[in-house]
Structure 1
Amino acid sequence: MKYLFLLGTALVVSTPALADEAYDPIVVTATREPTPVTQVGQSVSVVTRDEIERTQATTALDVLARLPGVAFTQSGGFGQPASVFIRGADNAQSLVLIDGVPVNDPGDVGGGFDFGSLTIGQFDRVEVVRGSSGVLWGSRAIGGVINFITARPTDQWTGRAQAEYGWRNRRQASASAMGKLGPVGLTLGGNWMKGDGFSAFDERLGGAEKDGFESKSANARAEVALVSGLSADLGGYWTKANYDYDNTGADALNVGLKRDALGYANLRYSGLDNRLNARVGYGLTDTHRISDDAMWGPYETNGRVERFEGQVSFAPVEMASILIGAETEKQKFDNNYGSKDSTSIDSYYGNLTLRPLAGLTLNGGLRYDDNSDFGHKTTFAANGAWVIGSGDEAPVLRASYGEGFKAPSLYQLYTNAGYRALDPETSKGWDVGIEQPFAEGTGRFTLTYFDRKTKNLIDYDFANWNYYNVGRSRAQGLELGMQVANRQGFDVNLAYTYLDATNEDTGAQLARRPKSNFYASLDKSWALGLKLGADLRVGGGRYDDTANTYYLEGHVVVGARASYAVTSNIEVYGRVENLFDEHYEVVRTYGTPGRSAYAGVRVKI
């Protein structure tokens, strides 16, 4: 820890001279409306396409692992089940969006999203909101919201393509194009990845049979202006992954399949000099899962969510605006063992934004949910951001409070050995933090304290083979972040999280939540087209079970990368992951990648 502290201090001290552009991106996930990040009271991280390419990320987990407040586990390699914990919240307690459409799976154990086979090649931007966002985004947004955003159409046709090859015969190719066909703006993209993989059962424990995978995905988006102020957009995303997996503690010839599809359509209106904005939309998510055990045969689940929504925002004066909306959602779930059911939820929400003073933004909102199985619930949220002073290096104070409500999933209710007396999960959380811009406003340093209490957290009882409610749990901690972008050729990223997540009834640590996570990266580019970079990831130890019987030690993983621009349109690159071949586990008896190398080429037109 002494060396990590010295490294972090060196980065903080050395980076004020590393910037040349102002940092105030527009974000949409925190407020459901385009908003400068300095007017957002919640803690938000934004990952751009440039950052994705610079770090040579290939999966969603590669991107999320770099952010403060985020930890993950995966039971093996690509395709294997993977969970993401935002501030210690369960994977199913965070809402995942693709282009603003919820993709949480009602066939998943908790109604969460499995990140194990999500590639990042088709996405232009990732926004992560930490802290409860239940008022604006509803059920499942207790821990936060993750929004994967594809590219918007451009006025002129542009395109990009990428191919790489590496460790254990892993091949990947992706391509996308954006432009206009007459009055219609279009975005089209696709990604393919296949590899021999490594044994999901830890190879150090005797795993010998490689668990391979293949992933295919495609996305499309269209936008058209109908008349002045009125436009329409529609799109979709499809992905299918086949993968091998093992049993706990042994090699096995098991195979799995995941297929996700979503579609959406929106009609939008903007008028009164953009002071009035309205949208009506439809979204559909359809999932299919197969876990084919070599001994017991296949287990299949299907999930489907249909969603209709509408919202209106109006700013009668410059210092005030109001957002109101309504949603209706129906979920369906079935499996090949006869479980089949559905549920629905109707919701209404409103949010008031006030700007009483220069630099001060205040938000307050209410949401009313009517769940067909668990009745009604009203939740409240408030947050504020205050830019103290003026100029590129004015500090920003943030504070937020949010409540959450999440009903048991259909899987938990209807595959629960006949025991359905589960109560909804509820939460109350708050955070307070400061953001200090530096380096002429391009860099930023953030420090945030958070605290969330949850009642009726749903967990699994291995003794009785069913789900039950944990009376009280609590997650509190500290997040530290620092980012500097392209100052004199340098890019720097630092993220540290301290987390104390416990079952307050027993005092035990919540399973698979590390006490601490640290990530640091440094990249340097030269005018001749050469880029060099390295990163360090330090994962803290964690208990693998709710009884805190099995403890997994922490780990230190180092990576190095390089790229060279052959021309203005062609770049070659390569990287070594886990440079020192660290052996570790984040799920007991399941392996993680050893030292591996990859090389590729990117083309842009």
Structure 2
Amino acid sequence: MHRDVDGDSEFDGCFSGTTVHDCSSKFELSASRGSAEYNSVNFNHSFAVSNTETDRKNFALGVSSFTANGELERMEYVGSATNLPGFDLVWGIDHEEASNNGVSRDNEGYFIEYLSEFSDIFFLTAGLRHDENDDFGTNTSHRISAAYLVDLSDNAVLKFKGALGTGFRAPSPFEIAYNSGSFAFPPASLISLSQEESDGWELGLEYVLGNRVHLEAVYFDQEIKDAIFFDLAGFSGYLQDTGTSTSEGIELTADIQLFDNLRLVFKLHL
């Protein structure tokens, strides 16, 4: 599979000594992907190779304000065993080489996931991932989730669910290249970005009535250590929120088929 994308946009609120509103950008993307699969009674295997190249140019008052050339090469293998007693296993390995404006980095990851099949009303998953990054060393993250189904009358199902996990995100080559390039200035240009680390959990309730009604409420609580963000006040580049930031709230979703040709979708974040 291959895809080419070209795009042009105009917008307000860019920087050229001060905030200006004559802004434009040009974007080019070239993406290719090839894959192969082998499936048997007990095991499934897939292997994929992909390459993505991007070219981005930003202009303020008609003058170039930022350029970026990036490439992402990725190889991945995913295997699964589906006829184990009471559970399935999924495992894999992936390798990425990302580059932007001459800054490149390799990341190799290994993962395994357990999916329960011992009950028709209780489901459990547990996953573990280990990453080895050229610039930021090794990281191990995990995720555990559970769900319990209550079969109501008239084709209705009530689901109780919960999940908790950890994660990390290394600063991208794009973010590092921006801060070290000619477009950045203090304080961003003086910062050596480190990786983000996250820890969070959620509890939720779902109600499903056939294909006509889907209601969902989820409470989430997430902490991010050393979050990376773009300086929207001074446009100096990418900054880092030293310490821990917390995000918590409630997500409400409703998807209701009112008539055969009319559907209501509602989402609210509190």
Q: Which residue pairs with 2:183 in the alignment?
A: none
CA–CA distance in structure 1, aligned partners of residues 214 and 95 of structure 2: 39
Instruction: Select 2:227's aligned residue among 439, 457, 473.
Output: 457
Match of 1:317 in 2: 84
* CA shift digits 1:169-214 (9 cap, x unpaired): xxxxxxxxxxxxxxxxxxxxxxxxxxxxxxxxxxxxxxxxxxxxxx
Aligned to 2:129: 367
Alpha-carbon spacing, 1:489–1:401, altered in 2? closer, same or farther (3 Å): same
Q: Which residue of 2 aligns with 1:126?
A: none
* Corresponding residue number in structure 2 for 1:477: 249
What secondary structure, in the 3-state scheme, does the structure 1 residue paired with 2:174 have?
helix
Distance 1:476 1:394 in 2: 27
Task: Flag the 1:413–1:299 CA change in 2: closer, same or farther, 3 A.
Answer: closer
* Distance in 2 (alpha carbons) for counterparts of 1:430 and 1:346: 26
Q: Match of 1:219?
A: none
Task: Check whether the contact 1:393–1:441 (CA below 8 A) recurs between aligned residues.
Answer: no
SS in 1 for 2:179: coil
Number of the residue aligned with 1:432:
203
Shift of residue 481 of structure 1?
1.1
Cα RMSD over matched residues? Answer: 2.3
Q: Deviations over 1:413-468 (max 9, x none)?
A: 23325535222001011111111123x55311111111110000013456794543
* 1:302-451 correspondence to structure 2 within 5 Å: 302-317=69-84, 319-334=86-101, 340-389=102-151, 392-417=155-180, 419=190, 421-438=192-209, 440=210, 442-451=212-221
C-alpha contact (below 8 Å) 2:150/2:159 kept by paired residues? yes
* Mapped contact 1:413–1:420 kept (Cα < 8 A): no
1:284 to 51, 65, 73: 51
Segments of structure 2 that go 5 or more residues without pairing to the other structure are: 181-188
Structure 1: how far apart are the matches of 2:125 and 2:230?
37
User: Are the equivalent residues in 2 in contact too, given 1:419–1:466 (CA < 8 A)?
Assistant: no
Rounded to whole Å, the distance in 1 between the matches of 2:238 and 2:172 is 11
Q: CA deviation at 1:246?
A: 4.2
- Which amino acid letter does the alignment assign opposite residue 266 of structure 1? S
The normalised TM-score by structure 2 is 0.86
Quick check: 2:160–2:206 contact (8 Å CA) kept in 1?
yes
Query: CA-to-partner distance for each residue in 1:121-145, whole Å, 9 max, x for gaps?
Result: xxxxxxxxxxxxxxxxxxxxxxxxx
Counterparts in 2 of 1:488 and 1:276: CA distance versus 1, 3 Å: same
Q: Give the number of the structure whose residues are more often strand, by fraction.
A: 2
Identity value in percent = 21
Question: Which amino acid in structure 2 is aligned with residue 242 of structure 1?
Answer: D
Q: Identify the structure with the greater helix proportion.
A: 1
Number of residues of Structure 1 aligned to a counterpart in Structure 2? 255
**Unaligned 5+ runs, structure 1:** 1-234, 335-339, 499-605
Which structure has more RCO (C-alpha within 8 Å, separation ≥ 6)?
Answer: 1
Aligned to 2:28: 259
1:236 aligned onto 2:5: no
Any conservation in 1 of the 2:57–2:64 contact (CA below 8 Å)? no
Structure 2 CA distance for partners of 1:382 and 1:251, relative to 1, 3 Å = closer
CA distance in 2, matches of 1:463, 1:296: 19
Q: Are the counterparts in 2 of residues 435 and 444 from structure 1 also a CA contact under 8 Å?
A: yes
C-alpha spacing 1:444/1:295, structure 2 compared with 1 (3 Å) = closer
Deviation at 1:493, TM superposition (A): 1.6
- Give 1:295 deviation, angstroms: 5.6
Q: Distance in 1 between matches of 2:44 and 2:70?
A: 33
Q: Which amino acid aligns with 1:369?
A: D
Q: Deviations over 1:58-98 (max 9, x none)?
A: xxxxxxxxxxxxxxxxxxxxxxxxxxxxxxxxxxxxxxxxx
**Contact 1:278–1:311 (Cα < 8 Å) also in 2:** yes
TM-score, normalised with respect to structure 1: 0.40
For the 8 Å contact 2:72–2:98, the answer to whether it is kept is yes
Deviation digits for residues 311-358 of structure 1 (CA, Å, limit 9, x no counterpart): 101023362100000000000101xxxxx2101100000001112322
- Give the Cα separation in 1 of the matches to 2:5 and 2:248: 35
Q: Deviations over 1:377-432 (max 9, x none)?
A: 00010112221236620211111112111011223323325535222001011111
Distance 1:251 1:407 in 2: 32
Structure 1's 304 and 379: CA in aligned 2 closer, same or farther, altered over 3 A? same
Aligned with 2:194: secondary structure?
Answer: coil
1:436–1:444: 8 Å Cα contact kept in structure 2?
yes
What's 1:189 paired with? none
Q: How big is each residue's C-alpha offset from its partner over 1:16-43, in whole Å with a ceiling of 9 and x where there is no partner?
A: xxxxxxxxxxxxxxxxxxxxxxxxxxxx
Q: Distance in 2 between matches of 1:341 and 1:296?
A: 25
Which residue identity is paired with 1:348? Y
CA distance in structure 2 between the aligned counterparts of 1:486 and 1:267, rounded to whole angstroms: 42
Paired residue type of 2:71: R
**Counterparts of 1:302 and 1:345 in 2: how far apart (Å)?**
19
Q: Could you tell me how far 1:480 is from its partner in structure 2? A: 1.0
The 2-side partners of 1:372 and 1:429 are apart by: 26
Contact 2:213 2:257 in 1 (8 A): yes
AA matched with 1:445: L
CA distance in 2, matches of 1:466, 1:374: 21
- Deviation, structure 1 residue 486: 6.1
C-alpha distance in 2 between matches for 1:426 and 1:251: 35
Give the match's secondary structure for 2:151: coil
